[in-house]
Structure 1
Amino acid sequence: MIKMKLAVFSDAHGRGERMAKVVKDLKGVDYLLYAGDVVGDLKEVQSRKGDFKVLAVRGNCDFNSTYSEELVFEVGGKVILLTHGHKYNIKYGIDRLYYRAKEVEADIVIFGHTHCRYAQKEDGVIFFNPGSISLPRDGWPPSYGVIEINNEGIKYKHCDF
Structure 2
Amino acid sequence: MAREKYYTCVVMSDSHGDRAIVEEVKERYMGQVDALFHNGDSELEAKDPLWDGIQVVGGNCDYDRAYPDQLVTTLGDVTIAQTHGHLYGINFTWMRLDYWAEEVGADICLYGHLHVPDATVRGKTLFVNPGSIRQPRGMINECLYAILTIFEDHIHIEYCNRNHQVYAPLTKDIPR
TM-score range, shorter chain: 0.7 to 0.9
SS state at 1:22 partner: helix
Q: Following the alignment from structure 1 to structure 2, what is the Cα–Cα distance between the partners of residues 39 and 70?
A: 16
* Residue equivalent to 1:148: 149
- Report the alpha carbon displacement of residue 31 of structure 1 after superposing the two structures with TM: 1.3
Contact 1:84 1:113 in 2 (8 A): yes
- Report the alpha carbon displacement of residue 16 of structure 1 after superposing the two structures with TM: 2.0
Letter in 1 for 2:72: V
4+ residue runs over 6 A deviation? none
* Residue equivalent to 1:124: 124
CA-atom RMSD in angstroms: 2.2
SS state at 1:92 partner: coil
Contact 1:16 1:41 in 2 (8 A): no
Contact 2:108 2:127 in 1 (8 A): yes
Structure 2 unaligned blocks of 5 or more: 163-176
Q: Following the alignment from structure 2 to structure 1, what is the Cα–Cα distance between the partners of residues 69 and 78?
A: 20
- Report the alpha carbon displacement of residue 39 of structure 1 after superposing the two structures with TM: 5.3
Q: Percent identity?
A: 33
Q: Following the alignment from structure 1 to structure 2, what is the Cα–Cα distance between the partners of residues 22 and 68?
A: 22
Contact 2:43 2:63 in 1 (8 A): no
Give the TM-score normalised by structure 1. Answer: 0.86
* Residue equivalent to 1:30: 34
Letter in 1 for 2:100: R
SS state at 2:147 partner: strand
How many residue pairs get matched? 156
Give the TM-score normalised by structure 2. Answer: 0.79
Higher share of residues assigned helix: 1
After TM superposition, the structure 1 stretch with the greater mean CA deviation from structure 2, 14-23 or 140-149, is 14-23
